[in-house]
Amino acid sequence: MATLNGNSPSEAPLVIVVGAGLGGLSAAVAIALTGHYRVLVLEAASRLGEIGAGIQLSSNCSKLLIRWGCAKYLEPNVVAPHRGRVCRWQDGEILTERIMNPAAEEKFGAPYWHIHRADLHQGLLDRARQLGVELRTSTPVAKVRTGDDETSPGVILESGETLECRFVVGADGIHSKIRTTLFPGFEKPRPTGDLAYRFRVATADMLDDEILKPLAETPDTHSWWGPGKHIVGYMLRGKQMYNVITLFPDDGSLGDATRGTGTSDHLKEIYDGWCPKVTRLIEKAQESQLIKWKLMDLPPLEKWNVGRCVLLGDACHPMLPYLAQGSCSAMEDAAFLAECLKHLPDQLEIAADIYSRYRKPRATKIQMFSRDQRARNHLPDGPEQRERDAVLKNPDQQTRA
């Protein structure tokens, strides 16, 4: 490996990233690319990977992935939708149609992508390994030490071992142990009152079905909005599969668990009376793929840093999925944090402070917009819904899609 800012790789300051999710790996790649640091990622799970199915990546995020040199790993697996349509729940009437590609490229300088989570995770992992990032699985972190004038920062593993470093990034998700160590009195994640189902349908199966054929013949995104719930569908993996996400009020079927398997009968009951495309998609859902999630939320923290330790991604700003910005925001965090570390390698505490001060307002705003979007998507039938739909149908009056 080449030298890191004049240091041999073994002498370069070490950054520990806790968590190898999409946020942690993005941070690892962006920080390794600065050329100043060695990066070690610690992951609690025994195997690296992502569960769930698709993810939508808007231009703010695809732009970073391209800048980080990940495109060659991802492009074979991405789908670039041409249009995004919002439809009415009962009759499927198209309420609005937004051009996504190539408009995203023209307007924001990068495409809008859909990708399987496993492919995105693997692409980031391949790039991280290529950059010399070290990864340790089956390594749960119990606590963090933030460092001061006398002591270095570091992490204390559940095994009791302490690893010292120059800087710690806590990217350990919504139930973050790093957050609990930094801010012990802060609130715990709480249920939002919504559940989500995710499942996939083979495109070949849809092409044989008169009702679903129109969905399978395009790379476009469709969402159907109805009272208290909605459903989104889009293509993945070279249009081989259709990814479906449904969001609806928690009916207690998961009990205290946050994740579990579900049944298509449950979904059929919830979406009874919805338009034929929705009900047919649910009929095609394969039982084995039906994963049910409880959506959790956390109020904004006052700050994301203590000493030479910062939080990133869902650990500090879990986002409801109504704007599909959770991972995208984690990647924005990673890019900005890397810039701070690159420009202030000798003032890492200040770098951490600048990162928190400048990133937090934007992420908090997106968190709040995502909450608002839930109400907008799920309006009951009646005057407010009709008013929303009239605005959606008339793009000139439209303020936010």
| Least Cβ distance, residue 209 to ligand FAD (angstroms) | 25
Q: Which is nearer to ligand FAD, 241 or 328 (CB)?
A: 328
Strands 113-116 and 259-261: unpaired
Q: Which is nearer to ligand FAD, 55 or 87 (CB)?
A: 55
Q: What is the distance between the alpha carbons of residues 18 and 177, in angstroms, rounded to a whole number?
A: 10
User: If binding is defined by CB under 6 A, does position 221 make contact with ligand FAD?
Assistant: no
Residue positions counted in the chain: 401
- How many Cα atoms occupy the beta-carbon half-sphere of 339 within 13 Å? 11
Strands 14-18 and 167-170: parallel
- Are the beta carbons of 120 and 74 closer than 8 angstroms? yes
Tell me the site size for ligand FAD, rule CB under 6 A. 33
User: If binding is defined by CB under 6 A, does position 44 make contact with ligand FAD?
Assistant: yes
Q: What is the distance between the alpha carbons of residues 369 and 299, in angstroms, rounded to a whole number?
A: 13
CB atoms closer than 10 angstroms to residue 82: 15
Q: Which residues pair with 247 in a beta bridge?
A: 196, 230
Question: Which of 252, 255, 258 minimizes the C-alpha distance to 174?
Answer: 258
Candidates 245, 282, 306, 354; binder of ligand FAD (CB under 6 A) is 245
Candidates 65, 133, 141, 206; binder of ligand FAD (CB under 6 A) is 141
| Least Cβ distance, residue 384 to ligand FAD (angstroms) | 25
Angle between helical axes of 22-33 and 326-343 (0-180°, round to 10): 30
User: If binding is defined by CB under 6 A, does position 42 make contact with ligand FAD?
Assistant: yes
Span from 13-21, 75-83, 88-96, 350-358 in contact with ligand FAD (CB under 6 A) = 13-21
Q: Which is nearer to ligand FAD, 98 or 385 (CB)?
A: 98
DSSP-derived letter for residue 4 is: B
Distance of CA 324 to the CA centre of its chain: 7
User: If binding is defined by CB under 6 A, does position 40 make contact with ligand FAD?
Assistant: no
DSSP-derived letter for residue 189 is: P
Residue listed under structure tokens 């992508």: 113
Candidates 4, 16, 22, 168; binder of ligand FAD (CB under 6 A) is 22
Q: Which is nearer to ligand FAD, 4 or 292 (CB)?
A: 292
Q: Which is nearer to ligand FAD, 355 or 385 (CB)?
A: 355
Span from 36-44, 105-113, 125-133, 375-383 in contact with ligand FAD (CB under 6 A) = 36-44
User: If binding is defined by CB under 6 A, does position 70 make contact with ligand FAD?
Assistant: no
Region 287-346 residues binding ligand FAD, contact defined as CB under 6 A? 293, 313-315, 319, 321, 324-328, 330
Cβ burial 290-324 (10 Å sphere, 16+ → b, else e): bbbbbbbbbeebebbbbbbbbbbbbbbbbbbbbbb
Candidates 15, 18, 31, 351; binder of ligand FAD (CB under 6 A) is 18
User: If binding is defined by CB under 6 A, does position 172 make contact with ligand FAD?
Assistant: yes
User: If binding is defined by CB under 6 A, does position 140 make contact with ligand FAD?
Assistant: yes
Q: What is the distance between the alpha carbons of residues 84 and 99, in angstroms, rounded to a whole number?
A: 6
Chain residues in the site for ligand FAD (CB under 6 A): 18-24, 42-45, 55-56, 140-141, 171-173, 177, 196, 245, 293, 313-315, 319, 321, 324-328, 330
